[in-house]
A and B are shown apart, each in its own frame.
Chain A
Amino acid sequence: MPDARADLLQGTLDLLILQTVQKTPLHGWAISKRIRERSADVLDVNQGSLYPALYRLEARGLLAADEGLSEQGRRVRVYRLSAAGKKHLAQEIAGWRLFSQAVERILVPA
């Protein structure tokens, strides 16, 4: 049975995170769950990559974080898209579309 899970392409994690928190601010676990659900369990964000990525995006000013509480009552950080993040996301999406269409064209038999 082929593995139904796909590896994340290098650099796409940032795109996925930014897109996920575009509408609603979310905390770390919720981000990873949302990505898993929206991709129908195909994309599983490794937690080991998730948190470094979150901190990195925050350090770059693309994400902003607020203090919040998890469902279990733990103090967590809720991430939302910053103004710079919005701009960056738009660029990333455009870039991704271009890339995926190009790949698609190559894969479709002529």
Chain B
Amino acid sequence: MWSTIRNVARRTLHGSRRDDFESRLDDELRAHVEAETDDLVRAGVPRDEAKRRAMAAFGGFDRWREEARETRVGHRLEILGHDLKLAIRGLRHSPSYTAPAVATIALGIAALATITTLAYDVLLRPLPYAEPTRLVAVYERNVPRKGDRNVVSAVAFQTWRQRSRTMDSVSGIMPDTRVWTTNDGSERVSGSLVSAGFFTMLGVHPAIGAGFSGAPNAREVVVSHNFWARRLGADPSIVGKTIRMDGVPVSLVGVMPPNFEPVRFGWLGDQEYWAPLTIGTQEMQWGRFLLVVARLHPGATVAEADREAHLIHAQLRAEGAIADGWDTQVFPLDNEIVGSVRGPVYALLVACGLLLVMVLTNTSLLTVAHARRRTAEYALRSVLGATPARLLGERVMRTLALASGAAAIGLVIAGWTIPALTRFLPSDVPRLGVVHFGATAVIVALGAAALSAIVLAIAPSLGQRAFDAATFRGGARLTRSARIGWVVVAETAAAVVLTVFAALTLRSFDQLSKVDVGFDARNLIAFRVAFEGPGMDSVTAPAAGRELMRRLRALPGVAGAARTSRRPFNAGGTATTVTPAGRGDRDRSAFPTADVRWVDADYFRTLGVPLKAGRLFSSADGPNAPPRVIVNETFARKLWPTEQGSVVGRRFDLRVNGTPTPEIIGVVGDARLQSPRREPRPTVYLFTNQQDDGNQFDVLLRVNGDETSAFAAARRLVQTIAPGVPLYRVESMSTTIGKAIARERATARLLFFFAVSALVLVAVGVYGLYAGEVSRRRREIGVRMALGATRRTVVQSLLSRALVRSAVGASLGGVAGILAARVLESVLYGVRSTDTVSFVASIVVVVVVAIGATLLPALQAARVAPSFALRAE
């Protein structure tokens, strides 16, 4: 049965049964020779001689057979199958070539597939919303301060909603947190407040439930699929019912689909729930606090929306609804969501591409060496009648088989490295959840495999043609090795670029981790607490706060405890324009913006922020005392640029919660509050004793001993003082800093890994090249030594050639590096992309590795005995 199927299949493939054809052809050709012989015998030639002549007249039997065969249908397919079989057999018979070649290409393909998957899924895969290219983010912008992407005031937001013709549904969004209480205790979950039309604008609807009703002041909530599954027991009947958040009943109106991606940009974190955003009269009084997303009207472009927003703002300025100096910015939403990772991802892509170039140069060198070992075999076969096309076909088939095998292995590796990479990258990298092994990896792997197959098939013919030419043009041997030598130059150049990338990002990361943040982050832990909910009112809540701080200070192992409205590196927060007292409202935008923080008396001592002038807050600065503040040095310098002496005692306009012009009682050292990357900003510290900042605050503890037990003790304390109030954002300050620079660390590590791979490839490639050359030129070296060359000159000649090549390669790499390192510009901190130290160090390292790899073959050359020349004759 099976053989019948096989025969049928074969007949359809080949047009006729192959064995039949072969035997018929043999018969026919033999009959020809026999007939010719008989003919000659009849003419009087002895039979033996006749047979010889007949055979001679016929010529190369096999070649005619080959030509006759080629006319047949299916011949090509048959050759293909045969070549493939031959290719695989050939590869299996030379493991010393196949194994390293397949392994190198497989690793190169795995790296490329992994990084391109990351790049595609994060940067290019359309956002999972309806017509995502029509979604934009709208910001305000302060022109005199050269500001960028400022959050939006309620006034601007409401006006855009009413007046814009280019933007259809303008939605506000802002982060929010709420307490979720279960029998096991309570915790704070994060979500966001969004305009009622938010999901409709995105074109994504709850999987269960109708979504927001749009009724004013509706107490409604939509939750994520994960929230529903984990906290609500995946109960479909719960939708439409009431749940309690923050101890307040809210109506659950929807559960989002499992694959819904929350809109994350600006300082929006992960979101487990969404509640309607209400803009009332109170919100209209607030400053700027909203992130705004809108859908472009069909046919409208981002540029048109941008122009219109400018016009609307001009109207608002003319109407006096917003201050002078404020303008707008409109950007595509996808850019806002993933724009921050573009630089590092591009750098990784470039690195991967270069690595693939090196992989190909290395395997080309291997292939050339391998082909050289087989020169005799090829020569024999072409004499026996194999056509050049046939031999090339075989070679292509072999490299194709090799590259396909490597691609398969590479994909298996990528299937493991892609999830590993998503775990390795910091979790705040946007869209990490959609990065999956898939079509991108497969397509890239196949493309890279095809490219490898072509390059490897061509590589030996570069060497080969030079060889043929050399055979006829006596003395042309050098050209061949020289031509292949240039491959090493390209490889060295690529290695330099990769090493430069690693050096730049490592130096940048080093700078970043050594940044003086202005306070001592070691042994400093933080948590946030909100005395809100049942049993908490305007009397009990502040009392609970004071009680907590008092008892925290008494805890064993706690050297200091401080409260602040916003801990360092929690970016954003209250900020306002400050002007010297008595300037009035003119040109306020020309004056600096200052971060405003509410702190208690122990804040500066606990954090280790030094006092530079004046005094710290004390019990003398009570609620009834005149308003007093402490500022940082940058504040003093920015507000009074010409002041040489102390600014203690000066007053300025601070329009926060209607604070009148406060007096500066002290100046403290600068601290980076926004991010370790960002220069200290002007900062005003208000005293919590003097001005109430609400019942939600961060607590910072300076601990002597174990951080975990300090957290546990703090949690117990809060439970005693206010049962049901959770601690959240529980984290040590060093962890916070670590997270803040996690992307830089991850980028530096990945690029470092690429650089190490590059150096290994250079070492292997250079070693292979010169080792091959020395073993081929043993006789020549022997002759030279017999003629008086010393070991030293032999070693020198090899080393100097290697030095010239790697120097040329390194210089080219340096130039390419200057161009390529531009993609890193947005990533680097404290290091320019043309950093001399990084470039010089990289070039030196690569050249040293290349020379090091030449040393071994050079020493082998030196050990060639002059007698070798004689013996080899």
Interface residues of A (CB under 8 A from B): 27-30, 32-33, 46-48, 51-52, 54-56, 59, 70-72, 74-77
Most central of A30, A48, A77 by chain B CB within 10 Å: A48
Inter-chain contact A76/B63, CB cutoff 8 Å:
no
Inter-chain contact B32/A47, CB cutoff 8 Å:
yes
Inter-chain contact A27/B31, CB cutoff 8 Å:
yes
Separation of A47 and B70 alpha carbons in the complex (Å): 15
Separation of A74 and B28 alpha carbons in the complex (Å): 8
Which of B24, B31, B63, B73 sits near A59, CB closer than 8 Å?
A: B73
Inter-chain contact A51/B28, CB cutoff 8 Å:
yes
Residue of A nearest to B65 (CB): A51
Inter-chain contact A48/B67, CB cutoff 8 Å:
yes
Inter-chain contact A72/B31, CB cutoff 8 Å:
yes
Which of A33, A52, A54, A70 sits near B34, CB closer than 8 Å?
A: A70
CB distance from B486 to the nearest CB of A (A): 43
**Does B68 touch A at the CB level, under 8 Å?**
yes
Which residues from chain B contact A27 at a C-beta distance below 8 Å?
28, 31
- Interface 9-residue window, one of B35-43, B77-85, B773-781: B35-43
Inter-chain contact B31/A70, CB cutoff 8 Å:
yes
User: What 0/1 pattern do residues 57 to 83 of B give for CB contact below 8 A with A?
Assistant: 111000110011011110000000000
Separation of A52 and B38 alpha carbons in the complex (Å): 24
**Does B29 touch A at the CB level, under 8 Å?**
yes
Separation of A19 and B867 alpha carbons in the complex (Å): 70
Which of B28, B38, B70, B73 sits near A72, CB closer than 8 Å?
A: B38
Which residues from chain A contact B73 at a C-beta distance below 8 Å?
59
Separation of A59 and B30 alpha carbons in the complex (Å): 22
Given A51-B64, A71-B38, do A59 and B27 touch, yes or no (CB 8 Å)? Answer: no
Q: Identify 17 residue pairs between A and B in the complex whose beta-carbon atoms are under 8 Å apart, listed by A's number.
A: A27-B31, A48-B59, A48-B64, A51-B67, A52-B68, A55-B71, A55-B72, A59-B71, A71-B35, A74-B28, A74-B31, A74-B34, A75-B27, A75-B28, A76-B27, A77-B24, A77-B28
User: What 0/1 pattern do residues 206 to 220 of B give for CB contact below 8 A with A?
Assistant: 000000000000000
Given A72-B38, A74-B27, do A29 and B32 touch, yes or no (CB 8 Å)? Answer: yes
Inter-chain contact A28/B32, CB cutoff 8 Å:
yes
Separation of A33 and B33 alpha carbons in the complex (Å): 12
Separation of A51 and B36 alpha carbons in the complex (Å): 15
Which residues from chain A contact B64 at a C-beta distance below 8 Å?
47-48, 51-52
CB distance from B76 to the nearest CB of A (A): 13
Separation of A6 and B686 alpha carbons in the complex (Å): 113
User: What 0/1 pattern do residues 225 to 252 of B give for CB contact below 8 A with A?
Assistant: 0000000000000000000000000000
Separation of A35 and B687 alpha carbons in the complex (Å): 118
Which residues from chain B contact A33 at a C-beta distance below 8 Å?
35, 39
Separation of A28 and B109 alpha carbons in the complex (Å): 55
Separation of A30 and B28 alpha carbons in the complex (Å): 12
CB distance from B55 to the nearest CB of A (A): 11
Separation of A75 and B73 alpha carbons in the complex (Å): 22
Inter-chain contact A76/B31, CB cutoff 8 Å:
yes
Residue of A nearest to B36 (CB): A29
Separation of A54 and B34 alpha carbons in the complex (Å): 19
Inter-chain contact A52/B29, CB cutoff 8 Å:
no
Residue of B nearest to A58 (CB): B71
Separation of A48 and B73 alpha carbons in the complex (Å): 19
Given A59-B71, A59-B73, A74-B34, do A51 and B29 touch, yes or no (CB 8 Å)? Answer: yes
Which of A28, A52, A72, A76 sits near B67, CB closer than 8 Å?
A: A52
